[in-house]
């Protein structure tokens, strides 16, 4: 199968062919849960950035094979209703959904999570899926169209999770983990500021309420 992205940076100074990275999700029996989700996040981000429906379907199949269920269906999941990256017609729910889910699968989350078993990858996936089916979906999708708004959205969501007790460190410490640095760089301070601004967004209140009302979700 041919994907729109041929090589993917998996970190550690390595780039893997997309099909080989995908194959590792279904064929590497010794691949641990954390690394499995990290690779899934990298591939999901590539699919969302390139609007690659073939890769998205392959990732759905990989998740179903490993965990017994596919990703929740969103409005934009097929070539027929998936907008082109430059399209201004309608709202694209696919890209923010997949990229925000991928963000919560990354290593930084586990390093600052208050309870990794309770707030496991399946719970995180469900959180974003529910958010992007809520009354705030249009607001998020509309702002996501502006590239300079995307880090703010990420910061607001991370800040809401911090305020809800899902993350057990303060804003600067979380931002340092997110960027993988021990320094309070400009980008770290910017993300921490957006986290602090989260209470100004109604969807942050929605996230906090969701956390208090939703049970943990078992994988499998």
Task: Please write the tens of the pLDDT for every residue from 104-150.
Answer: 988 899 999 999 999 998 899 899 999 999 999 999 999 998 888 99
For β-strands 7-11 and 14-17, DSSP reports them as antiparallel
For residues 41 and 100, give the distance between their C-alpha atoms in angstroms, rounded to a whole number. 10
Task: Evaluate whether residue 209 is within a structural domain.
Answer: yes
Closest among 173, 205, 204 to 189, alpha carbons compared: 173
* Residues 132, 48 share a domain: no
Q: Which residues pair with residue 8 across a beta bridge?
A: 16
Do the domain assignments include residue 78?
no
Mean pLDDT lowest for which of 2-11, 119-128, 176-185, 203-212? Answer: 2-11
Q: Please indicate, yes or no, whether residues 49 and 90 belong to a single structural domain of this protein.
A: no
* pLDDT of 171 strictly over 70: yes
Claim to verify: residue 98 and residue 191 sit in the same structural domain: yes
Q: For residues 176 and 182, what is the distance between their CA atoms, to the nearest angstrom? A: 6
Same domain, 181 and 206: yes
Tokens describing residue 203: 């969807």
Q: Each residue of 43-70: pLDDT tens digit?
A: 888 888 788 889 989 998 998 888 888 8
For 113-163, the DSSP string reads: BS-TTTT-HHHHHHHHHHHTTSTTHHHHHHHHTSGGGHHHHHHHHHHHHHH
Are 190 and 129 part of one and the same domain?
yes
CA distance 76 to 62: 20
Q: CA-to-CA distance for 90 and 47, rounded, in angstroms?
A: 20
| Lowest mean per-residue pLDDT among 70-84, 132-146, 193-207 | 70-84
How many domains are there within the chain? 2
**Containing structural domain, residue 49:** 1-71
Question: Is 76 within a domain?
Answer: no
Task: Indicate whether 100 and 24 sit together in one domain.
Answer: no
Model confidence, pTM: 0.68
Q: Tell me if 165 is assigned to some domain.
A: yes
């Amino acid at each position: 199968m041919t994907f729109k992205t041929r090589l993917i940076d998996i970190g550690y100074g390595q780039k893997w062919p997309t099909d080989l990275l995908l194959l590792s999700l279904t064929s590497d029996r010794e691949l641990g849960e954390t690394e499995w989700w990290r690779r899934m996040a990298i591939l999901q981000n590539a699919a969302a950035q390139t609007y690659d429906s073939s890769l998205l379907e392959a990732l759905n199949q990989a998740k179903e094979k490993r965990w017994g269920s596919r990703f929740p269906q969103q409005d934009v999941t097929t070539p027929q209703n998936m907008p082109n990256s430059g399209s201004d017609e309608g709202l694209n729910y696919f890209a923010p959904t997949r990229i925000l889910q991928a963000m919560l699968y990354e290593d930084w989350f586990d390093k600052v999570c208050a309870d990794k078993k309770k707030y496991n990858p399946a719970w995180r996936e469900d959180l974003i899926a529910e958010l992007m089916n809520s009354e705030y979906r249009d607001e998020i999708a509309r702002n996501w169209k502006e590239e300079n708004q995307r880090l703010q959205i990420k910061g607001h969501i991370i800040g809401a999770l911090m305020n809800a007790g899902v993350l057990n460190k303060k804003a600067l410490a979380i931002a340092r983990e997110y960027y993988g640095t021990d320094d309070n760089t400009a980008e770290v301070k910017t993300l921490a500021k957006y986290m602090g601004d989260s209470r100004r967004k109604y969807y942050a209140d929605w996230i906090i309420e969701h956390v208090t009302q939703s049970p943990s979700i078992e994988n499998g």
